[in-house]
Structure 1
Amino acid sequence: MEYPLVSIVVITYNSLEFILDTLNSIKEQTYKNLELIITDDGSKDATVEYCRTWLDVNKEAFVSSKIITTDKNTGIPANCNRGVNAAGGEWIKIIAGDDLLTSDCVENFIRFIAANNSAQVIYSKALGFQGNIIDKNYIEHSFAGYNKFFSSDTSKQYKMLLRRNYGHGPTIFFKKSIWKAVGGFDEKFKFEDHPFALKVSKNKIRLYYTDVITVYYRENIASITRSDDKRIFSNFYCEIEKFNKAEVYPNCSLIIKILKKTEFYKLHYFDKWGLNRRTKINKLLFLATYYLNPLNLYNKYF
């Protein structure tokens, strides 16, 4: 088995509270041919200073290491692009500054590509958690349709990705040459995972999956996809609609466009009519519409 250089790219933004756990999970990798890239997106706390101190003590654990900084916050896709661009490894593993890698994360991916020579973009299982990393807090991340999606050819995968995302973004492992070939992560959007998967698939590159846990993913209430204490859902649905208008609607079927538009306007009018306020009645109404979502039903049966 070959042992290519793998670059682990840590994306940080005000990550001081959790970054030690992240960095230690990288140091503890059983696979040792590693480069560490930390790319910070204009943190206002002491994240960068802490990372520099940690690297001074632990840099011998890596083939090479570096920290990249910027004066202003530019968003997740741009931060990912800076890190991957600076990476010297053949393979890339991106991790957020509040998530953790399993100790055999990279080793599992390398074993998978050794057995699947054509694999260039691979996803895996993830375990979500809240608070401390203890078993009772784990939430397994798996999506309906995994087997159907990852066993399909590139044409079918692309059509399915026009409906919804399948791979869990924090687990992605990919060749740097693929990132370069498709033009990197799309900085027009505020999220990176679904746009990148769709772009890769559109370029007829198959997405693979290995059924092992490689990432512990922190369920963070401050995430751009999550609501706050006063609202049921955030305005992230507007970002999804922006992505849909640019990349999905021009290429999907009429029925998928109608179903996605229906979901967007449902959320839009929940907001407009004050139904997004976190009350018991509003939550019950929202849950009822969620489980009767026509798009979810269509994806389940077609």
Structure 2
Amino acid sequence: MKNTPLVSVIVISYNSSKYIIHTLESIRRQTYGNIELIISDDGSKDDTVEVAARWLEDNKGAFTATRLVVAEKNGGLPANCQRGFNASTGDYIKLIAADDILMPRCIESFMNTLQANNADFAYSAVEIIDEHNKVVGGDTSFYPSFFGTLTTKRKKEVFARYAEFLNTPTWFYTRALIEKVGGYETSYRILEDHILLMRVLQLDAKLVYVDQPLVQYRVHSHSSIAAHNKILLQELKRSRHEERWVHLNKWSIKNLLFMADDYLHYLFAPSKFRKFLYLTRTINPAFWMKLFIKNKANTPGVLKIKKMFG
């Protein structure tokens, strides 16, 4: 590693007392030495703040600096991210939910990758764990084999067509990049990653992928996303019009097919008309194209499909 600049690890918490110690311990075990730990709590109603404060007092010598920031009332995920960011001072930023886990070499690996590639933004493979810390899944993103090889212009177009998240829990980026995009979009309550990535792509930022799991993402019934599914669907609809479709050529048949598929998905997914949705997808080439792109095996047939529709 060329040098060891300060990295701010920002823990985003809300009613996280059950898992936050696991998260904090994973940060303490990092092999990278120069870490500022920020805990930003979004007005938890349980004892998350008390648990976090005790842990910080017991482990304050393990970090370059620590800070606990507590909101008086819940403001939503993007606002909590922005609050933590404002409290931080590091040149590099790693956000992590207070129920996820960083692998021991997470920060070191990301720093090596960004410095070696002179990049602004990195992401990695991810492991999915349950509430008992059991690994139940792995990397489901098809972008490492397809998205990562595209030009910036094509990345914007592909993401605008099909907003597959780039393993959001793993994101690692420079402070300067977040400042350039104006921070996190606090007019949303849940959807912080989708908006941020689209705006990052507008800056022609360099994105790099680390082909190993550096974060464990926890899936459980008490997560903030699971509890606000209706709000999430509404915000996905809003972002589709305000952030994604504005970058597509509306006269392109391929783009129109993607837009139709996307619209129908969010229109009917939460309702009793699911069967109608499935019917429309069987006659929509865009849906089948997604299936081919998701296939990571670059067989001649798959590569041909990617070339035709990508």
**TM-score by structure 2 length?**
0.84
Pair 1:270–1:66, CA change in 2 (3 A): closer
Task: State how far apart, in whole Å, the 1-side matches of 2:98 and 2:13 are.
Answer: 5
1:197 counterpart residue number: 197
Residues 25-104 of structure 1: pairs in structure 2 closer than 5 A: 25-104=26-105
RMSD, matched Cα: 2.4
| 1:203-282 matches, cutoff 5 A | 203-226=203-226, 236-254=232-250, 255-269=254-268, 271-272=270-271, 274-275=272-273
1:75-110 per-residue CA deviation (whole Å, 9 max, x = no partner) reads: 111111111121111101100000010011101112
Identity value in percent: 31
Counterpart for residue 147 of structure 1: 145
Give the number of the structure whose residues are more often helix, by fraction: 2
SS of corresponding position for 2:122: strand
Counterpart AA for 2:167: H
SS at match of 2:44: coil
- CA contact 2:11–2:40 (8 Å) conserved in 1: yes
Structure 1 residues not aligned, in runs of 5+: 277-281
* Secondary structure class of the residue paired with 2:246: coil
Q: Any idea what SS the aligned residue of 1:250 has?
A: helix
Distance in 2 between residues matched to 1:56 and 1:252, nearest whole Å: 51
- Name the CA distance, whole Å, in 2 between partners of 1:292 and 1:226: 31
Match of 1:15 in 2: 16
In structure 2, the CA distance between the partners of 1:178 and 1:271, relative to structure 1 (3 Å rule), is closer
Distance 2:127 2:104 in 1: 14
CA separation in 2, counterparts of 1:32 and 1:292? 54
Q: What is the CA-CA distance between 1:124 and the residue it aligns to? A: 0.5
Instruction: Please give the TM-score of this superposition, normalised by the length of structure 1.
Output: 0.86
| Kept after mapping to 1: 8 A contact 2:8/2:93 | yes
- Tell me if structure 1 keeps the 8 A contact 2:124–2:212: yes
Shift of 1:142: 2.9
Q: Is the 8 A contact 2:237 2:266 kept in 1?
A: no
Q: Is the 8 A contact 2:257 2:284 kept in 1?
A: no
When structure 1 is superposed on structure 2, of 139-148 and 256-265 the one drifting more is: 256-265
Aligned residues: 287
Residue identity matched to 1:238? Q
CA 149–266 in structure 1, closer or farther in 2 if over 3 Å, else same? closer
Deviation larger for 27-36 or 151-160 = 151-160
Write the letter of the residue equivalent to 2:46.
D
In structure 2, the partner of 1:279 is none
Q: Which 10-residue stretch deviates more, 286-295 or 250-259?
A: 286-295
Name the CA shift for 1:175/1:17 in 2 (closer, same or farther; >3 Å): same
